[in-house]
Structure 1
Amino acid sequence: MPSFFTQSESYPLGAVPTGSGVRFSVWSGAAERMWLCLFDEQGEAETARFEMARGEGGVFAVEVPGIGTGTRYGFRADGPYAPEQGLWFDPDKILMDPYALAIDRQYAYDSRLALPRGSAVDTAPLMPKAIVTALAEPVAPEPPIFRPGGLVYEVLPRGFTKLHPEVPEHLRGTLVAIAQPAVIRHLKKLKVSAIELMPIAAWIDERHLPPLGLRNAWGYNPVSFMALDPRVAPGGFQELRDLVAALRREGIGVILDVVFNHTGESDEKGPTLSLRGLDNRAYYRHEPGEPARLVNDTCTGNTLACGQPAVMRLVLDTLRHFVRHAGVGGFRFDLAPVLGRSAAGFAPDAPLLRLIAEDPVLKDRVLIAEPWDPGPGGYQLGRFPPPFLEWNDRFRDDVRRFWRGDDGTVGTLATRLAGSFDIFREASTRTVNFVAAHDGFSLADLVSYASKHNEPNGEMNRDGHSHEIAWNNGIEGGTNNDRIAGERRKDLHALLATLFFSRGTIMLSAGDEFGRTQHGNNNAYAQDNETIWLDWAGRDRELEAFVARLAEIRNALPVLSSCALLTGEAGSPQFPDVEWLKETGAPLTVADWHDPDRRRVTMLLADDDGRRVAVVINGDRRASVMGLPERPGFVWKNLLPDCERHSEKPFLAQGRTVYCLIEEAE
């Protein structure tokens, strides 16, 4: 790889104030001419258009004296217009700087942004403008607060506080709101190790949404990578920096959900906003031959060419920017196999994945992969290289199957509880366990709806996953039936306890701790309304208190969250590190493991100090007497409510419940 692309500090791209003016630079391997365009409140004047000189490695640059921070600008590029060859140059299109640090307004889709060359429509009035911004001083380099085994709390920044009654109304839905005292108290009550902010880089609506009166609310359709969306950060980058600092003071890290697999320019009918107009053929992957069809491994219309040097540099520079200037603790990579994809398929040792893991600025950050994409061979769970953690959908699905009552699932449940070492074969697991996330049913909905209800999305319920592992306990949706409501509450308690008592890193989607519902919509990306805005006033406080208790237990017992491999061998002078027991307290036999009707199991853990912790699971709807190994001078103490003892030793485990007990000296 040319040194130009690895030595970013020596050749900074974007707009860099120099003291006497601003130097602008942008890369294109195929453009023949490039112009910088400056804008004021009246728009662009011909005298504010500067042709940029092509220099080393395809970088176009110009320095304009007498201007500084706050200047608004964009680029125009010219060259061949031959879409069948992957060339889309059109000087009527104003283009966003891929290295823009701030923009003056949010993106808004307009069909005129997608008109072909020769349409005589200048898109400058339709596009946000980049703002020349001076970088703040780098934050003091500190190691991330979050460590594997902690609790990641997935947050949609806008929906998280939009209805929060204790947040000033003018701050709701922004990053500033997350730093408010009431929100921080909630995070600390749940023992959150790090919040994972869903995308905050500036995004655009998909073209089919405006006619439906809908807006993209999740942010997984980016145009700018470094510039924050004005809807969630109206005060700009400083708001992220302040949030990271405020949460760090409380012992909470910040992980950014980043999208480097596609952009909002979509397919060949999509708008020309930035990369397409600068060098479509270099920034996006194409099928071989002509016509040059965009590869669509993301089901969004395009796929970034993450093996190309210019794209690799853009990704690395973006990640470094957030670490150096905001102090973020890590990143979750959406559709992460794209980062390691080429025409030959996914490779765990792909250059970009290796560069991220080895980069001096990034190598100690938390790196979380969503290890699948919709393209051929896109399911890559367990194949990402260390130190990447991976979202574990096998945990999600297998835990749901067990609690739905599917036959023959107890052995698989035990494997998931123990850290999924059938998938992660190193000495320590890299799993991120979850039972619900932003994509799919909310936790409350998966026990209330047997099928999706996505009609409000305007696609006649065709969108979203059609095979959710879910159940409704006899009635679809909400109910006033006390029996069914009671069964659903048991199911929620059981799912949450299974999550919190599983080894490895865990993730909880914000609001699932108090029963958030999307009314059966399992693809609510376009519902920027009460469907996804958390109902803080109407939250289920009993469920919230239960989750807080689970968090306290997990936090107090490191053996529950450890990422270390369980061997079944001595973890202390007295006990194996794990034993699997049946109702009598005796070890499970081979026949027990293969019993398709088995619904009960105990995971008995021992730490290095000889302290034993029992996670007792009764997946049957019937109560069962459960026994645990006894030793003189010690008693088993239940750490969760609803444990009815028959005597000093065995106890009655209610149907569809999970218990956690600790052995203590009498």
Structure 2
Amino acid sequence: MRLTGGTSSRLGASWDGRGTNFALFSANAEKVELCLFDAQGRRELERIELPERTEDVWHGYLNDVSPGQLYGYRVYGPYAPERGHRFNANKLLLDPYARRLAGRLVWSDAHFAYRTGSAREDLSFDRRDNARGMPKAVVVDESFNWGRREIRPNIPWEDTIIYEAHVKGLTQKREDVPPNLRGTYGGLSSPAMIEHLKNLGVTAIELLPIHGLIDDRRLVELKLANYWGYNTIAFFAPEARYAQDNPLDSFRTTVARLHDAGIEVMLDVVYNHTAEGNHMGPTLSFRGIDNASYYWLNKENPRYYDDFTGCGSSVNLTHPRVLQMVMDSLRYWVEVCHVDGFRFDLATTLARGPNGFDRGSGFLTAVRQDPVLATVKLVAEPWDLGMGGYQVGAFPSQWSEWNDRYRSAMRRYWSGEGSLIGDISSRMTASSDLFHHDNRATRAGINHITVHDGFTLADLFSYNEKHNEANGEENRDGSNDNHSNNCGVEGPTDDPKILALRRQLRKNQFACLMLAQGTPLLLAGDEVGNSQSGNNNAYCQDNEIGWVGWDNLGKDGEDFTGFIGHLTALRRQFGQIRCQRWLDGRRTDGSYGVLWLTPSAEEMKESDWKFPEGRFLSYVLGPMEQGQAPIFIVLNAAPEEIAFKLPKMTEYKNWQQVLNTTGEEPASVAFPSGADTKAPPRSVLAFAGSA
């Protein structure tokens, strides 16, 4: 027989070498049809009703379907938005477990389950077939020859330095990357790019979303795109626009080559919402398969969604099958694609229960016990837009979290704001006020100054105001609270003093990021002064605004690659910066974890922390093991030089300067213990103790 019942045990399209099993979850459907298409995806060849239903999984096995076959689903059920159901079998739907997508979405009103423009809008019913303009799922052969050399780097958390990048934007303008690889998965692992990453000293590249995505209709009509990719429609399929041929194999080849170079690959993943938007959005997959199961619906009026994400709807991980989909997706990227970690966009939404954020939620519990995910790095963006959404410091010990408190404090400090030394001291020592509980380690906080969302580092010190006019929203989008400082001129300038100050402040931010305890994250392009011309929300700019500009690469005074490489080397040299134990002060035996010192090298008292408008902070991180040198760190955000004394310690006769951000090259001057010297205006200094 050509068609048999198959199995419900594995969702999606699973080829076993002889035929393909199809399985789709829907608790509220009445019938499911599998639709097979020709190789171009233009002509529907046949519809086959899935013959079996087991525990709300509809399934069937076709013995003549092999890899390369294009398919979709039509799902029958009630169209009753007021009850939360939005079935419409006229709409071809993507398999949530699709491993590969063929074609792109061609926008038309046919993608909406209701008659657009009708008097009652989404309560009406549309009978148009949307199949011609829909991408199709593709049956794939998941086998891949990883080769003998591919070994996962398994970088310890304490040694991890993350580099956040967009697949296309990173290499689109790199002239030393072969033209055919620019903007692709292959460009990430080109020899020039790997050499650059190694020169920086980063250990992991974190990619903005690469799950299958669509461009919003509004953006397409404005001739823009959903460039960042936070508009997922397929949680198992690598986005095809970054591949020259087979996306899955292209991505895995890149992972293998980066692993060979000792660099881990992390993915920014968006499980909190989908590309289907709010109740007026299109019906592309989940909404038409089982709207009431996949999304959080308003209890009082299920026609509407509970929107914790700001994107119109929220994925409901309290449903066991929806949770299964997310967990299956995560394991797929680890087991099939050898990914080393994930950064979870708006992670608070994933851990919501009926009463809000829940540390014992089904999602966090499932992750905690999963043996596959136990081997990878997990990073939460610990907030969403719902009630009680800000949860920095609240995730379990298995997780690390983006530390926006570090970002805010450091931006304010180096932009010239005073009376912050208490806050800065916490941020430089792993933010123990946020993360020192429940057996969490110092790696819990992911320190960052800039990320994809917001100003680049160059723009942070070039613009006081956002300039997002190119986004088509009359500059209303993007944050107004940037803690930036244009140093006297808004935007580009030829004034050498302003340019020098801007470079100095960028170096200070780099220095603090690498000298701070916690896990550092760099934004791609900051090392070469990449600018977005003041746009702090370039999510739709798949062009010169959003791509990394490499014009300063190799230019003296403008390319900080070597400077960052020196900082990452210092971080490796001084284990107390990377230590996963929390610091303490002076111990009974005279040893110490950290000593906070006044400019006269005396241990700080309570009154010293309240010094009016204080901008000077100095401290010693003591050795963590025998033979290790202490490091003395000085931060001076004041616009004038400040005299200070080197710590006088009997066991260390000299302090060797290993960092001075005001010099082009790190000065290697030796100072006697207890010597007087000066911290230049707006500078970061570091000294290593020696016997």
Q: Give TM class, smaller chain.
A: over 0.9
Which of 506, 531, 543 is residue 560 of structure 2 equivalent to? 543
User: 1:23 is matched with which residue?
Assistant: 21
Distance 1:145 1:175 in 2: 22
1:268 offset after TM fit, Å? 1.2
1:404 offset after TM fit, Å? 1.6
- CA 1:45 to 1:548, structure 2 compared with 1: closer, same or farther past 3 Å? closer
1:10 offset after TM fit, Å? 7.8
User: 2:226 is matched with which residue?
Assistant: 216
Paired AA for residue 467 in structure 1: D
Unaligned residue ranges in structure 1 (runs of 5+): 1-8
Which stretch of the first structure deviates more once superposed, 192-201 or 128-137? 128-137
1:555 offset after TM fit, Å? 2.0
Paired AA for residue 595 in structure 1: F
Which of 181, 186, 190 is residue 180 of structure 1 equivalent to? 190
Which stretch of the first structure deviates more once superposed, 556-565 or 365-374? 556-565
User: 1:78 is matched with which residue?
Assistant: 76
C-alpha contact (below 8 Å) 1:38/1:71 kept by paired residues: yes
User: 2:32 is matched with which residue?
Assistant: 34
C-alpha contact (below 8 Å) 1:14/1:100 kept by paired residues: yes
Distance 2:105 2:342 in 1: 24
Which stretch of the first structure deviates more once superposed, 46-55 or 606-615? 46-55
C-alpha contact (below 8 Å) 1:193/1:253 kept by paired residues: yes
C-alpha contact (below 8 Å) 1:141/1:327 kept by paired residues: no
| 1:640 equivalenced with 2:659 (yes/no) | yes
Q: What's the RMSD between the two structures over aligned residues? A: 2.0
- CA 1:317 to 1:274, structure 2 compared with 1: closer, same or farther past 3 Å? same
Distance 2:64 2:668 in 1: 78
CA deviations 1:516-547 (Å, max 9, x no partner) are 11111111000000112111233454423222
Matches within 5 A, 1:33-432: 33-41=31-39, 43=41, 48-116=46-114, 118-136=125-143, 144-234=154-244, 235-426=246-437, 427=439, 428-429=441-442, 430-432=444-446
Which of 641, 646, 649 is residue 628 of structure 1 equivalent to? 646
CA deviations 1:434-467 (Å, max 9, x no partner) are 0111011111111111111111000011111111
Q: SS at 1:564's partner residue?
A: coil
Distance 1:144 1:83 in 2: 48
Which stretch of the first structure deviates more once superposed, 546-555 or 378-387? 546-555
CA deviations 1:328-361 (Å, max 9, x no partner) are 1111100000111123100011011111121011
What's the TM-score, normalizing by structure 2? Answer: 0.91
Distance 2:423 2:259 in 1: 37
Matches within 5 A, 1:644-663: 648=672, 649-663=675-689
Q: SS at 1:400's partner residue?
A: helix
User: 1:6 is matched with which residue?
Assistant: none
| 1:450 equivalenced with 2:459 (yes/no) | no
Distance 1:254 1:146 in 2: 14
Paired AA for residue 394 in structure 2: R
Q: SS at 2:507's partner residue?
A: helix
User: 2:608 is matched with which residue?
Assistant: 592
User: 2:3 is matched with which residue?
Assistant: none
Paired AA for residue 427 in structure 2: R
Q: SS at 2:111's partner residue?
A: helix
User: 1:433 is matched with which residue?
Assistant: 447
Distance 2:214 2:68 in 1: 23
Matches within 5 A, 1:408-557: 408-426=419-437, 427=439, 428-429=441-442, 430-539=444-553, 541-557=558-574
Paired AA for residue 528 in structure 1: D
- CA 1:35 to 1:552, structure 2 compared with 1: closer, same or farther past 3 Å? same
Distance 1:48 1:241 in 2: 33
1:138 offset after TM fit, Å? 9.3
| 1:568 equivalenced with 2:588 (yes/no) | no
C-alpha contact (below 8 Å) 1:108/1:204 kept by paired residues: no
Paired AA for residue 174 in structure 1: T
1:574 offset after TM fit, Å? 5.5
1:286 offset after TM fit, Å? 0.6
Which stretch of the first structure deviates more once superposed, 38-47 or 163-172? 38-47
CA deviations 1:86-128 (Å, max 9, x no partner) are 1111111110001110111234544431241753321111111
C-alpha contact (below 8 Å) 2:599/2:644 kept by paired residues: yes
CA deviations 1:562-588 (Å, max 9, x no partner) are 2320111449x7631110112111112
Percent identical pairs in the alignment equals 38
C-alpha contact (below 8 Å) 2:86/2:113 kept by paired residues: no
- CA 1:149 to 1:590, structure 2 compared with 1: closer, same or farther past 3 Å? farther
Q: SS at 1:225's partner residue?
A: strand
Q: SS at 1:248's partner residue?
A: helix
C-alpha contact (below 8 Å) 2:172/2:547 kept by paired residues: yes
C-alpha contact (below 8 Å) 1:165/1:537 kept by paired residues: no
- CA 1:42 to 1:398, structure 2 compared with 1: closer, same or farther past 3 Å? closer
C-alpha contact (below 8 Å) 1:145/1:329 kept by paired residues: no
Distance 1:149 1:569 in 2: 26
C-alpha contact (below 8 Å) 2:586/2:592 kept by paired residues: yes
Paired AA for residue 350 in structure 1: S
Q: SS at 1:535's partner residue?
A: coil
Distance 2:153 2:543 in 1: 37
Paired AA for residue 639 in structure 1: V
C-alpha contact (below 8 Å) 2:230/2:270 kept by paired residues: yes
| 1:577 equivalenced with 2:593 (yes/no) | yes
C-alpha contact (below 8 Å) 1:420/1:431 kept by paired residues: yes
Q: SS at 1:663's partner residue?
A: strand
Distance 1:186 1:302 in 2: 40
Unaligned residue ranges in structure 2 (runs of 5+): 1-6, 116-124
- CA 1:634 to 1:10, structure 2 compared with 1: closer, same or farther past 3 Å? farther
1:639 offset after TM fit, Å? 1.2
Q: SS at 2:192's partner residue?
A: helix
- CA 1:638 to 1:403, structure 2 compared with 1: closer, same or farther past 3 Å? same
Q: SS at 1:530's partner residue?
A: coil
C-alpha contact (below 8 Å) 1:72/1:129 kept by paired residues: yes
- CA 1:450 to 1:170, structure 2 compared with 1: closer, same or farther past 3 Å? same
1:266 offset after TM fit, Å? 0.3
Paired AA for residue 404 in structure 1: S
Q: SS at 2:254's partner residue?
A: helix
- CA 1:639 to 1:43, structure 2 compared with 1: closer, same or farther past 3 Å? closer
Distance 2:105 2:406 in 1: 37
Paired AA for residue 618 in structure 1: N
Paired AA for residue 288 in structure 1: K
Which of 613, 634, 637 is residue 631 of structure 2 equivalent to? 613
Q: How many residues align?
A: 656
CA deviations 1:581-626 (Å, max 9, x no partner) are 1211111221110113211111200122252101111111111222
C-alpha contact (below 8 Å) 1:284/1:303 kept by paired residues: yes
Which stretch of the first structure deviates more once superposed, 41-50 or 434-443? 41-50
Paired AA for residue 567 in structure 1: D
Distance 2:468 2:40 in 1: 43
C-alpha contact (below 8 Å) 2:464/2:484 kept by paired residues: yes
C-alpha contact (below 8 Å) 2:243/2:250 kept by paired residues: yes
